[in-house]
Amino acid sequence: MEFTAGQIAQMLSGEVVGNEDAIVNTLCKIEEGTEKGMSFLSNPIYEHYIYNTKASVVIVNKSFKPEKEIKSTIIKVDDAYACFAKVLDIYNEYLLNKSGVSSLSFISQSSTIEGEPYVGEFAYIGENVKIGKGAKIYPHVYIGDNVQIGDNVTFFSGAKVYHSCIIGNNCNINSGAVIGADGFGFAPLEDGSFKKIAQIGNVILEDNVEIGANTTIDRATMGSTIIHKGVKLDNLIQIGHNVGIGDNTVMAAQSGVAGSTKIGKNCFIGGQVGFSGHITVGDQVKIGAQSGIMSNLENNASIMGSPAFDARPYMKSYAYFRKLPELADKIKELEKKIKELEMK
């Protein structure tokens, strides 16, 4: 895929300064620019790179005023960052633009797929599955019986969706993700062993949800584990049975949520955060990385630590914690002086 600087400028409502016929066929970082590559500059910290970059085209803000000669063709726009993000979307859509149903895939005769989907090699679609328009199902994807899937959903290679789960529109399920595996439910017996409790619920992903690679979302014991609209889950996250995560909450990698915990809307959750089961987290809560959440949190809380507490007191406490060896030495010195005074 090749574009000229003039075509890109027209797409972004920008102004070309330099060669309108400069060819672009790839995207790159400004410090790693290559011939026929396109980059952008929005943060003044990186301005020095634009004078030496080998990128053929660079998108800049209209307010940018160069201090010396620039060899690249530049495109001036209102917001360089937003415009480059738009180009990234177009480029990514081109890369993922696949269609057709492979003869090496399996689709049950009782299942329906609307429109013109892409179904890759060795993908499996079970009984009574309903899939909307614009589906992209990459090789080795497994979709179990009675699953319902909305429009414009992408399953990358190796994603698994167990039976009876429901997935909304515009969702992305990345490689290795498992939606609807059994929840961790076992009843202890008198002899010390455990009896498995049947997990007969499902998982519901609402619209515009992103599930990272190797993330697992367990089905409910009864009812549903629900990931509400706009939620973004990073790679390597574990969501337990009967959990609910509110609209537009984002969670970073290696976090884990134990069963029946409810997390509110618009929360920001750092990496490696652990949630105890059966607790409630309010809306717009911010949680620092590696925090341990063991009790309910109110709306707008900002917490850190394990066990976690309010972020500001935590930072003050941590300042003292770092000085514990020094403080211990001072205490020992004071104890020694007190003993000396007592002996006198």
The pLDDT, as a whole number, for residue 319 is: 77
* Strand segments (E) across 212-301: 216-218, 224-227, 232-233, 238-239, 244-245, 250-251, 256-257, 262-263, 268-269, 274-275, 280-281, 286-287, 292-293
Q: Output the six-digit token pair for 84.
A: 């480059």
The pLDDT, as a whole number, for residue 328 is: 87
The pLDDT, as a whole number, for residue 95 is: 83
d(CA 218, CA 205): 12
Containing structural domain, residue 332: 314-343
In a shared domain, residues 307 and 319: no
Where does a domain end: 95, 126, 161?
95
In a shared domain, residues 337 and 266: no
Which 8-state DSSP code applies to residue 238?
E
The whole model's pTM is what?
Answer: 0.84
pLDDT mean by block of 10 residues, the chain; 344 residues: 92 95 94 95 94 96 94 96 93 87 98 96 98 97 98 97 98 98 95 96 98 98 97 98 98 97 98 97 96 95 85 77 84 87 83
The pLDDT, as a whole number, for residue 145 is: 98
The pLDDT, as a whole number, for residue 113 is: 97
d(CA 241, CA 217): 8
The residue annotated as part of the active site, out of 48, 140, 228, 241, is 241
In a shared domain, residues 123 and 152: yes
Evaluate the omega torsion of the peptide bond into residue 307 and state whether it is cis, within 30 degrees of 0: yes
Q: What is the CATH number of the domain that holds 273?
A: 2.160.10.10
- Whether 187 and 197 have beta carbons less than 8 Å apart is answered as yes
Q: Output the six-digit token pair for 227.
A: 């990931």
In a shared domain, residues 88 and 122: no
In a shared domain, residues 88 and 190: no
In a shared domain, residues 13 and 146: no
Per-position b or e across 297-324, b if 16+ CB within 10 A of its CB:
beeebebbbeebeebeebeeeeeeeeee
> Does residue 241 have an active-site annotation?
yes
Number of domains composing the chain? 3
d(CA 147, CA 201): 13
In a shared domain, residues 83 and 187: no
Instruction: Give the three-state DSSP class for 333.
Output: helix
Scanning the chain, the segments in alpha helix (DSSP H) are 5-12, 80-95, 311-322, 324-343
- Whether 85 and 77 have beta carbons less than 8 Å apart is answered as no
d(CA 218, CA 203): 7
In a shared domain, residues 26 and 151: no
